[in-house]
Amino acid sequence: MRNSGLLDCIEQYHAVAPLADGRIEAAGGLDVPVVGPTWPYPARPRPGGGPVTVDDVRAAVALQEDAELPVALEWIWERSATTASAARAAGLTVEYMPLLVLDDPVELLLPHGVRLYLVGADDPQLPRYQRLAELAFATPGPAATGATAVEERVEAGPRTEVLRERIATGRTVMMVAVEDGEPVAVGSHHPLDLDGREVSEITGVATLPRLRGRGLGAGLTSALAEHARETADLVFLTAGDDDVARVYERVGFAWVGTTGVADRPA
């Protein structure tokens, strides 16, 4: 499939994914998922719609704020290049991230002594795995300092119950890497049926900061990609930056586009 067909499929995935969780409201050329705050989705340009304007972005932001949702906008740059200028004019900060699809999967082994597990919906450690991701994403990039372990007792929150339901219904597949009995990396993929064709997005691959550089993230991504590929015709992900994208290319992903992301300035 050519890149245009891949991007069509990814756009369709993002348009359909929120429908099970709430409703979609239009803000000009943008679709705004109005869902529960524990599992929010960004506003996105409507596939096949016209150019996104600054008024569209402002209307989408107002809908998100009224629903007490995070202000967030995402798009595929190659399909909606004007969205970035509209988002900036509306006062949002814009970033660009590599968009990749699984092309030729490569099996990468985890470091010796690290074991990988599929997470069940009833796993009592699920809050710890969520906390691991929080700690990892709070310290982006290579880190000489930062958390090396997750506290043993972590309280479950509202998002935990949503995640349990998603795992139980097959909407989320989560894997955790464990070393010496402690979770050290986590990640997920999210299968979705699109008219009889399964597509899955890999998200949330996270490694404890001081354990980076050992191949944990690459190995975990490889395992998630292999699991998703068992049933999915298309597997894709968005990398945090070019360096992370190169890691995913080692796993067998190919760069097909660019994801634009806009949110409130920090």
Would you list the domain boundaries of the chain?
3-91, 114-256
What single DSSP character describes residue 228? Answer: H
Average pLDDT value for residue range 68-93: 96
Among the four given CATH numbers 2.40.50.140, 3.40.630.30, 3.40.50.80, 3.30.1360.70, the one describing domain 114-256? 3.40.630.30
Half-sphere exposure at residue 1, Cβ-oriented, CA atoms within 13 angstroms: 16
Confidence of residue 143 (pLDDT cuts 50, 70, 90): low
Residues in the chain: 266
Average pLDDT value for residue range 109-119: 91
pLDDT at 212 (0 to 100): 81
Rg of the Cα trace of the chain? 18
> Structure pTM?
0.93
pLDDT over 60 at 15, yes or no: yes
pLDDT at 144 (0 to 100): 52
24 vs 47, residue with greater confidence:
24
